[in-house]
Structure 1
Amino acid sequence: MQLIEVGEEKNTVIVIDDFLENPEELVDFAKRASFAPWPMAAEGKGYPGVRAAAPESHASRLMERLDAVVREKFNIAAGAELKIQQETLNLITVAEDELGPLQRAPHFDTSDPRLYAILLYLCDETHGGTGFYRHKSTGYEAIRPDRVEHYLDCCYVEFNKFRRPRKYCGDSDDLFTRVGFVPAKYNRAVIYKGNLLHSANILSDKSISFCPEKGRLTANLFVSYE
């Protein structure tokens, strides 16, 4: 396990390698699963790909191993209740020239600081990784409730003024500075707060695929402590 502090705000990101004992079981499940587009995909918003329901036991298997770690490393109160919010298998499938404006920029999953994203890579390092970002004009790296309105107002102006290139996020650009990067690695788990500005970083069209064996397959879990 590695603990990484990203950016000037020193937000914690946990990286755990060789996480599942038999990750190939999850890949085999994905090969048999029915994938469908994410909500808002037709409008060029949200996750740029397709999803399938994770196995019934997926969340409980992960949190059996992770609950104590997440509580300790993120200083979560002992009495906070763990709640499973969403669990899916995902594949990036939208070509770069079809991306909507919001899909070309870093995003945050929620402004609620109690929600955590758990990303399990079921693909190798040729599929890039996950980048973390600072918004240049505000300096924000995590979008908390007291920041969200100001951040969105700034983005509305900037995205209309500066036409972002039709490509997935990668290195720093005119509006965002990449402050951290976790490479993809088969069976690597990455845990971070859902309010961090982040994005999938891909290296080539290889990662844009409907095939679980060849594409950028990930298992994603969102949990909260309330």
Structure 2
Amino acid sequence: MTAGFALNPEIAVRREIIGNEREPVLAIDGLLRDPAALVEFADAADFAPAHGPAGGYPGLRAPAPLDYVGNVVRSLTPLIARAFGLGPVEPTRAECFLSLVTLPPGDLHPTQRLPHIDTVDPLQFALLHYLCGPPHGGTAFYRHEATGFERITADRRAAFEAAVAREAAESPAAGYLTGNRDGYVQTGRIDAAFDRLVIYRSQLLHSGQITAPEALSADPRRGRLTANIFVAFRRG
């Protein structure tokens, strides 16, 4: 099975610098030798809801194959270290899910309609692998207008959360976030493309761009299928 999840030796890497904070984002095309093998794995996987009354991921998730996760993290650690200026690092923790966005726009919790971060840890990164095509939107990055923050660091978290709490009196507009809305300005966007991997710091404000909710499906071969890896590093 590991051979099916081997990385393509001729990946195409694009590095973009976004926002006022000049944060790097990587887009890697042609990640796997055989990306269809991962779709086949997903087609046989047991997906379960990943959301609840307080929000969460707006769809279904299933565990990803460990050999896929290991291959991606081991192979891309040197690239990530160079692109983000980390110096010598080693991965300390990685978790990965196969994910399908399935919630209809009208069923979203208010927190699911706004940009979010995964953690304030500057050494944790999100690796988002698209196993679907352009009709399923992409990933966008945001600036919070009231604070000017694009990354939520440990020393910014209290001010950001206080500002968001003040804004919560006015519920966000219904539906999935696209473009500029509800006090957030889009600073950059990477469109979905089959077998494209997007890498960004987990403290960067971001949101999935669900531009065609009518195309959402619980079928991994038709829906907005991604593999989401969250990897934490430590400096050597």
When normalised by structure 1's length, the TM-score is 0.95
- Whether the 8 Å contact between 2:106 and 2:174 is mirrored in structure 1 is yes
| Cross-structure match for 2:134 | 125
Note the C-alpha offset of 1:97: 0.5
More strand by share: 2
The offset of 1:57, in angstroms, is: 0.4
Contact 2:125 2:230 in 1 (8 A): yes
Give the C-alpha shift of residue 207 in structure 1: 4.1
Query: Could you tell me which of 38, 56, 81 is aligned with 2:90?
Result: 81
- Give deviations 1:13-54, integer Å, cap 9, x for gaps: 00010111100000000000000111xx12141211110000
* Count of aligned pairs: 222
Match of 1:53 among 59, 63, 68: 63
- Cα distance in 2, alignment partners of residues 93 and 133 from structure 1: 23
C-alpha distance 193-61 of structure 1, shift in aligned 2 (>3 A): same
The whole-number CA distance in structure 1 between the counterparts of 2:171 and 2:187 is 22
In structure 2, relative to structure 1, the CA distance for the partners of 1:224 and 1:207 (3 Å cut) is farther
* Alignment partners' CA distance in 1, 2:42 and 2:194: 15
What displacement does 1:83 show? 2.0
Q: Which residue of 1 aligns with 2:222?
A: 214
Query: Partners of 2:64 and 2:156 in 1: how far apart?
Result: 33
Counterpart of 2:15 (choices 3, 6, 14) is: 3
Cα RMSD of the aligned pairs, angstroms, is: 1.0
1:203 CA drift (Å): 1.3
Aligned partners of 1:206, 1:114: CA distance in 2, in Å? 36
Aligned partners of 1:116, 1:109: CA distance in 2, in Å?
9
Q: Deviations over 1:103-143 (max 9, x none)?
A: 00000000111100000000000100001000000000000
The answer as to whether partners of 2:77 and 2:90 remain within 8 angstroms in 1 is no
The answer to whether the aligner puts 1:98 opposite 2:107 as a matched pair is yes
| Cα distance in structure 2, aligned partners of 1:82 and 1:4 | 23
Instruction: Give the Cα separation in 2 of the matches to 1:84 and 1:90.
Output: 19
The 5 A counterparts of 1:98-177 are 98-160=107-169, 162-177=170-185
Q: Indicate the SS of the match to 1:154.
A: helix
Rounded to whole Å, the distance in 2 between the matches of 1:55 and 1:8 is 37
Q: 1:188 to 1:102 in 2, by over 3 A?
A: same
- Please name the residue that 1:21 is paired with: 33
Identity score, percent: 37
Q: 1:182 aligns with which of 178, 190, 206?
A: 190
Q: Give unmatched runs, 5+ long, in structure 2.
A: 1-12
